Structure 1
């Protein structure tokens, strides 16, 4: 318990967790950042229509006997209540019959089983849950692997083993052969786990030097990870079709982009290039097929560290930053820079009504300038080391660490940043700090040079010739009206 911040969560399950349609979902114990924290302002949502019922998909109708058998099995485990009439289901949920929302069921044929799918998006339940969720969660990927282990296990029906409070039952209605089933999930789960242990799916329990996790082939002895052979063939075939100019339907584009986004867990440096998907299809094909040399996640940390900031008003934009190889430098000891951006040297910062609307991109550009400067230093010398950087923009820190952003012009700046990291074999170790702890960089952006040594000022080159990719990307975005 002393090392598990989720140790109290099982006790919250005794009474059931809020589904989130009519009320806010539970917040984590300080694990996930709030949406307000990421955006710097409260997220805005349009008024949503109330959820409604929908008929099952044709795949569920085709396999309704098998789906019905699944519900009877779960009824024995006290995970559902049914079958019953619409009136009986309403009594179970404590609501009126017209308040019941039946989500459409679907069926997916897998190699060894039939998977039943409950679609909460189409009837509108998911939109309400998203609106009532204050935090933004992320899923673990290959980069979160801290230990390389030989044993892999999986909890059977893990997503179905969380009790939902009775208030949300009316949104978990399934209709099979005209009968109503109420998904409540098992309140007796804790007693079952205490008596019998965690319900593992034994067919998914694997031990060996080569293992599969999240769809990736992991060699634990090296260690190394890669996309599985069959899935790699699918990816390469998709990219070749795109490169050859093959036409795709909307669904095929969505499916293909989803596959590529998943594959970037093994090729993280490719993630930013998915933003201008069509324009950079050839580049993505070359990158995904090439051998990408990545630095080890266990490489040492550089003694050089620094921080940046940016400020803008309706007419001006400035960037400032500092760095030092001393562990606890004084202000007079650090090397520093100050950069005044103009419509000539950074037109992208002035293409809106005010540079203030580009503040996130300006701050990420400052991080790029500092990282490039430090990566080029002789003291770094191409060795695989982490360069610790600081920023007071939490959204930028997460975008850089995840190699992903959907905003323009942050996306081309991030592409240049990860390409610089790739060329210099130097991973980016950026950390978020509150503005109160970033006072030196903040002072520089406001042209306050008091306390800094004039002899330690660094002049940075931001001309087009100094970049690997950035000017071409900015020009592409300008031509496409980004």
Structure 2
């Protein structure tokens, strides 16, 4: 068995063209193996065995060995090998001559018949028999061969993606040979019409994928040509023709023009080929995937043209030619010579060659047509290459007055009159990183803005080597680090900060002063004219210095700190009566806003404080006096406030939330009764890092050994607000009388724009710190005011983390030094990071709280729904890091959704089962989940399908073990009332088709298995033609039964194996084998490779119990939903919330 495997591997190693020549003359496989084992695996190598036939005979007899004098069989074998040697030499001679002539332009690259046959055989061995309509033409292969030989793939015109069927009759062209000055005839360029329908485009993609696969069989050493290239082009088709591109539909019913779709598709391939040429991506399959995910391509080549009119009424519609400057309008005017009657636009692109490779007939384009019956030119339209003349082409308008009017309303681009057009910033090389959370793939965010260098892997970030503007920041960083080394032990300080042993600023006043002097002097030497040494009144930052640091580095948002009209130095507007800025280089555009009720829309003259603030008025007054000493608040009389602000005085209610240290967090209610928040419209969308982003950061640094977290003190209270808006942030404590009013001079908790301004301010600071670090293996993330640093750079990582903290201090950032923590395991915004175990999860204290609550509730046998909802919120947050447990929340959500919030209900058995499982799963190390490594490969493991027609219910699937389905494992099982009673709980079985499809996937995982390994090391893929299940598996959440039960079992099975499984939707025509298995057609499969899946005997981890108890639970849910009632045991007062009774630690 091992020898057979080794022989097969050796045969696969040999080039297809040499194998074809061997097979063509009849060399036995055993003799071929002798040749290949000696390293003669290509035509080039075998042709160079020796110079003459006698010498070759002697060499083969000695090296193989092949004693041709012993018997007739050996002589025959030697004669066959000599024939192959002759053929190799002739083929090389012709090929080299053809290559030389193709470079001179007198001869196109030619694919020889034997060469084509060899590549075709290799590809059909892999994909099965292919039709002439699928197979690429010799002309297409010749283009690709020339590109591969130069190692420079170039994007192809889809008209060149011709098939053997298209190229049955080849055209010829005449050229002048520069060497002999003679007229030569060469094969012409074979072309076809552009794809006019989605299926035609899908066929062109398959043809291109097969062309690259055929090339790969000849050039096996080209690592950028993966074996799965055909599947990569299939995924490209699915993306382009899916909901995000071809299926996109605007609110007014418009869909993209077909020409726009083809243009965007061409740009995707162009980007992919460019990435391969530049070496930015390892293989063409990965390059295509990266291109589809590239937001800049999507924005520039699809979204923007679509928004500006690249649309039509239907997918297949061709639309109209874009109106350009060359159109003649109706009537005469400046720059026009007449009315343009009968004229066509000269700037429209016209073709010279027809799809048959011939020159187009210019007489045919006119109204009269071509008078010659035996015309040798091509009769196709110059504009669209369709079989009609240019004079009747529907794509050409004769009069601009006939062109459709351009809508300048909702779809026209909008620019605020005072908006500045910002550069995209110092983005990295290539596409930014991506993260996944709850089944959604989103751009990675580090919290410092779209242009933050931290959104790219360290190696892809810019430095002074490619961006000269960063030289200043890098030198400044080196000088500051040198200063630190001369005054303290930098690495020791990093360890102390991580251990939480620093209570006050670890940098002495002298070190801080020296550092600031270095920064200021460097900026002044660089030509700065701003007052960089000054701190603006009302806040602690050196805002002019921050602006100059950003400006010199090339940051797009530098002016927001000092020189802009509403800069941080002058005071920002909160957004009432003033439009907030739009900063596209830093933030995405915000498109949805909260809807406020009537109480929030209308201001009231008097508002009382909430009970918590009234009971602690003295403490609140004391804190306000401390804030006033810091310049953040001012107390005035009501008369003074009214005189200055009039109807812009909004006296809001206060709330006071006690913190662990005994102080109070005062919340300013800018919503109810004052109408402040309802008048604010933040135009930029804030994005903070999620568990998915943190997981991505850990994956790109698999050797991370140190992390540090820090907290900015009084973060939102550090942004200065313009004086004209102080009255909108007014309040009273009640101490000293009702005529005393406090005005907030800075950002305030409870005003919706406060977090936006703080995020923008800290974003620039964070980017400035990133510019110091060059391309060091360092990650920096921020969630509001919580900072996180990670590093795997053993030489300089700790030093640059301390340098970043020092840099923040120099620019005025106040830290809560006691809150610094880190090391190899630490907590950040409720998530625990273990660098030693390379895992992410929740803290031991929070896990213990959840386990205790779940166990206590199960023992009591009943629960108040309000408490259950609160715990579900906590579980939902916790399970963003523990995704394999998310499916167990589905039935809990479904149950509480139909219950009265303040009543107590008995626990159904299914809910008890889920609670017990969650409690046991969170125990011990179950509170952590491995983050894995970046995905280095993805391969399809199996394909499944299901069928439900009356009582005929089947599931089936097959493993992609071999190119021949007869060598593949498979299963096909019928479901009945006995083994699947849940199937008929909703009546007709077809209603459960999604559950059946997921059951088929589960059966495939159980029967065929998936590779074990750390999550992220390998990502498995399976095919199904149920699109909904691809989203269910991605999100790991559904409330439907029995779908949720199968999802729970599938997630648990995969978690135990440490593997991710991605379901990919397949068109039914590409899932024919699995479809046949569900129809009882086993013709293509071998019975000895069949696997059986008995649902009655399969217990799984949770499936048996969930299917049994889930039927009763969901039947009760349906009855309750219909009757709007439930069995009640009692009622508790609404005031006793879980947060008050048992707060989460």
Q: TM-score range by the shorter chain?
A: 0.5 to 0.7
User: Match of 2:691, SS?
Assistant: coil
Q: 5+ unaligned residues in a row in structure 1: which ranges?
A: 20-24, 36-46
User: Match of 2:1097, SS?
Assistant: helix
User: Match of 1:153, SS?
Assistant: strand
Other-structure match for 2:664:
114
- 1:277-292 paired onto structure 2 within 5 Å: 278-280=911-913, 281-289=915-923, 292=926
Question: What is the distance in 2 between the residues matched to 1:391 and 1:211?
Answer: 41
Question: What is the distance in 2 between the residues matched to 1:396 and 1:420?
Answer: 17
Determine which structure has greater relative contact order: mean sequence separation of CA pairs < 8 Å that are 6+ residues apart, divided by chain length: 1
User: Match of 2:860, SS?
Assistant: coil
Deviations 1:30-74 (A, max 9, x none): 99xx99xxxxxxxxxxx9954538965422333445556777888
Change (3 A) 1:211 1:445: same
Question: What is the distance in 1 between the residues matched to 2:862 and 2:613?
Answer: 31
Q: Does 1:209 align with 2:824?
A: yes
Q: Which residue of the other structure, out of 614, 634, 639, is the alignment partner of 1:61? A: 614
CA drift at 1:466: 1.8
Other-structure match for 2:708:
151
CA drift at 1:476: 0.8
User: Match of 1:476, SS?
Assistant: helix
CA drift at 1:387: 3.3
Q: Which residue of the other structure, out of 932, 940, 954, is the alignment partner of 1:297? A: 932
Question: What is the distance in 1 between the residues matched to 2:1072 and 2:872?
Answer: 39
Other-structure match for 2:427:
2
CA drift at 1:372: 2.0
Other-structure match for 1:463:
1095
User: Match of 1:286, SS?
Assistant: helix
Question: What is the distance in 2 between the residues matched to 1:136 and 1:7?
Answer: 9
Other-structure match for 1:140:
691
- 1:327-342 paired onto structure 2 within 5 Å: none
More helix by share: 2
Other-structure match for 2:328:
none
Q: Does 1:239 align with 2:854?
A: yes
CA contact (8 A) 2:709 2:820 kept: yes
User: Match of 1:244, SS?
Assistant: helix
CA contact (8 A) 1:320 1:441 kept: no
Other-structure match for 1:22:
none
CA drift at 1:134: 12
Question: What is the distance in 1 between the residues matched to 2:872 and 2:1042?
Answer: 21
Question: What is the distance in 2 between the residues matched to 1:474 and 1:345?
Answer: 11
Other-structure match for 1:368:
1002
User: Match of 2:1009, SS?
Assistant: helix
Other-structure match for 1:323:
959
CA drift at 1:2: 2.8
Question: What is the distance in 1 between the residues matched to 2:853 and 2:1075?
Answer: 46
Question: What is the distance in 2 between the residues matched to 1:29 and 1:80?
Answer: 30
Other-structure match for 2:1044:
411
CA contact (8 A) 1:332 1:451 kept: no
CA RMSD of aligned residues (A): 6.1
Deviations 1:365-390 (A, max 9, x none): 333222222227xxx5x666653335
Question: What is the distance in 2 between the residues matched to 1:125 and 1:408?
Answer: 45
State TM-score, norm by structure 2.
0.31
Change (3 A) 1:296 1:264: closer
Indicate the larger mover: 116-125 or 175-184: 116-125
Other-structure match for 1:427:
1059
State TM-score, norm by structure 1.
0.64
- 1:1-400 paired onto structure 2 within 5 Å: 1-3=426-428, 4=432, 6-7=449-450, 50=598, 52=600, 56-64=609-617, 67=620, 105-111=655-661, 113-117=663-667, 139-140=690-691, 143-144=695-696, 145-146=698-699, 147=701, 148=704, 149-154=706-711, 177=734, 183=751, 184-185=753-754, 190=761, 193=765, 196=811, 202-224=817-839, 227-245=842-860, 249-264=864-879, 268-275=883-890, 278-280=911-913, 281-289=915-923, 292=926, 297-298=932-933, 305-308=941-944, 319=955, 321-325=957-961, 343-352=977-986, 357-375=991-1009, 380=1011, 386-390=1019-1023, 396-397=1029-1030, 399-400=1032-1033
Change (3 A) 1:2 1:279: same
Change (3 A) 1:296 1:272: same
Question: What is the distance in 1 between the residues matched to 2:688 and 2:949?
Answer: 33
Q: 5+ unaligned residues in a row in structure 2: which ranges?
A: 1-425, 433-442, 444-448, 453-555, 561-565, 567-571, 577-581, 745-750, 769-809, 893-910, 1118-1145
